[in-house]
């Protein structure tokens, strides 16, 4: 019996990490890390963990994902999202380890009128998108093609009780309010973190490398998602559509962030639709949260 593949995971304590680690641990030997035990800005710490675990893969999820925080602190965003990724990639290069880097749909300009494919050129419009794209470039420049896998995630939801992003917030609000507003002029692809875990399992098992979009199928607005949450939750809450200008933010939001998964489809792998994934997640929230 061959030994299990070893995966060292950075940023494992977040919303994405919890679900992904749970999925991967069913088949692989996963070593989850997060702050303060592993700060990707610290090369020595990375090298210590690499020497200790001797992983086959590093699943690099550590990042600052708060867009406004990145805009307010671009140096910090660059130190973690860009230089931190370079540090991890260089450690992988030294040891012949493969990297799986979780990137984002936020690297695109948003000027396109339809969802982005892997062939579209990244032109990030905010500090978060810029630093995540620089992370992609660092991975590509540092590691040979057979040792790098870059997955671009969409509008993430998941984590259950840990979910502090849009879906988690809206689920709680619809149980407390009889009316709320949601933006209807910015488009994206919802993305269940559990499905990303299942996808990574498939890609590792089949030794796939390259750049892939990894979102659930669909191109929707926050308003669409909020309305579906209300329906699935079975509550009496009215959702009103409003423009993004009603929610001013420090970081500019691209009006189009939706993606197509054309390269995955060529592999014969299909991500399920966003409504199916969201329905499963809302059932999970009903069990984990008391309302």
Domains and CATH numbers, the chain: 6-158+191-216+260-271 (3.40.50.720)
Q: Say what the pLDDT of residue 73 is.
A: 98
Handedness of CA 160, 161, 163, 167 (dihedral sign): positive
Checking if the pLDDT of 159 tops 90, the result is yes
Region 135-157: mean pLDDT is 98
Region 93-116: mean pLDDT is 98
Residue 86 C-beta-side C-alpha neighbours within 13 Å: 12
pLDDT digits (tens, 9 = 90+) for 201-231: 999 999 999 999 999 999 999 999 999 999 9
User: Distance from CA of residue 101 to its chain's centroid?
Assistant: 10
Residue 98 near residue 57 (C-beta atoms within 8 A): yes
The least confident of 116-125, 141-150, 154-163, 262-271 is 154-163
Average model confidence (pLDDT) across the chain: 97
Handedness of CA 73, 152, 187, 182 (dihedral sign): negative
H and E: helices and strands count for the chain: 11, 12
* pLDDT over 90, % of the chain: 96
* pLDDT over 70, % of the chain: 99
Residue 191 near residue 214 (C-beta atoms within 8 A): yes
Global pTM value: 0.97
The least confident of 1-15, 135-149, 177-191, 270-284 is 1-15
pLDDT digits (tens, 9 = 90+) for 70-103: 999 999 999 999 999 999 999 999 999 999 999 9
Q: Say what the pLDDT of residue 1 is.
A: 58
Of 109, 111, 98, give the one whose Cα is nearest residue 151: 98
Reduced DSSP (H G I as helix, E B as strand, rest coil) percent helix, strand, coil of the chain, to 5: 45, 20, 35
Residue 105 near residue 152 (C-beta atoms within 8 A): yes
Of 227, 223, 162, 166, give the one whose Cα is nearest residue 191: 166
Q: Say what the pLDDT of residue 35 is.
A: 96
> pLDDT tier at 164 (50, 70, 90 boundaries)?
confident
**Phi then psi dihedrals of residue 203, to 5 deg:** -70, -35
**Residue 29 and residue 4: Cα distance in Å, rounded?**
6
Q: Say what the pLDDT of residue 162 is.
A: 82
Region 264-275: mean pLDDT is 98
Phi-psi group of 268: left, alpha or beta (phi > 0 → left; psi -120 to 50 → alpha; rest → beta): left
Region 25-45: mean pLDDT is 97
Of 11, 17, 7, 15, give the one whose Cα is nearest residue 33: 11
> Where are the extended beta strands (E) located within the chain?
6-10, 29-32, 57-60, 98-104, 148-153, 155-157, 179-183, 187-188, 190-192, 210-213, 220-221, 238-242
> pLDDT tier at 5 (50, 70, 90 boundaries)?
very high
């Amino acid at each position: 019996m061959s030994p299990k593949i070893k995966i060292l995971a950075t940023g494992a304590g977040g919303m994405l990490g919890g679900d992904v680690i749970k999925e991967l641990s069913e088949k692989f030997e996963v070593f989850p890390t997060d702050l303060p035990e592993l700060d990707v800005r610290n090369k020595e710490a990375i090298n210590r963990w690499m020497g200790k675990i001797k992983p086959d893969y590093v699943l690099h999820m550590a990042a600052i994902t708060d867009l406004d925080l990145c805009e307010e602190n671009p140096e910090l965003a660059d130190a973690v999202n860009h230089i931190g990724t370079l540090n991890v990639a260089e450690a992988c290069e030294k040891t012949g380890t493969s990297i799986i880097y979780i990137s984002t749909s936020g690297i695109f300009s948003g000027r396109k009128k339809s969802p982005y494919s892997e062939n579209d050129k990244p032109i990030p419009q905010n500090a978060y998108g810029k630093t995540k794209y620089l992370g992609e470039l660092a991975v590509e420049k540092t590691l040979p093609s057979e040792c790098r896998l870059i997955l671009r995630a969409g509008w993430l939801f998941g984590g259950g009780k840990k979910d502090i992003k849009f879906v988690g917030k809206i689920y709680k609000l619809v149980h407390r309010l009889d009316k709320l507003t949601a933006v209807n002029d910015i488009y994206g692809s919802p993305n269940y973190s559990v499905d990303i875990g299942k996808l990574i399992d498939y890609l590792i098992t089949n030794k796939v490398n390259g750049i892939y979009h990894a979102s659930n199928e669909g191109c929707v607005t926050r308003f669409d998602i909020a309305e579906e949450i209300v329906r699935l939750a079975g509550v009496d809450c009215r959702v009103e559509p409003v423009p993004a200008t009603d929610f001013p933010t420090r970081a500019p939001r691209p009006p189009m962030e939706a993606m197509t998964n054309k390269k995955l489809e060529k592999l014969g792998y299909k991500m399920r639709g966003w409504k199916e994934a969201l329905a499963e997640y809302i059932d999970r929230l009903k069990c984990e949260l008391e309302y």
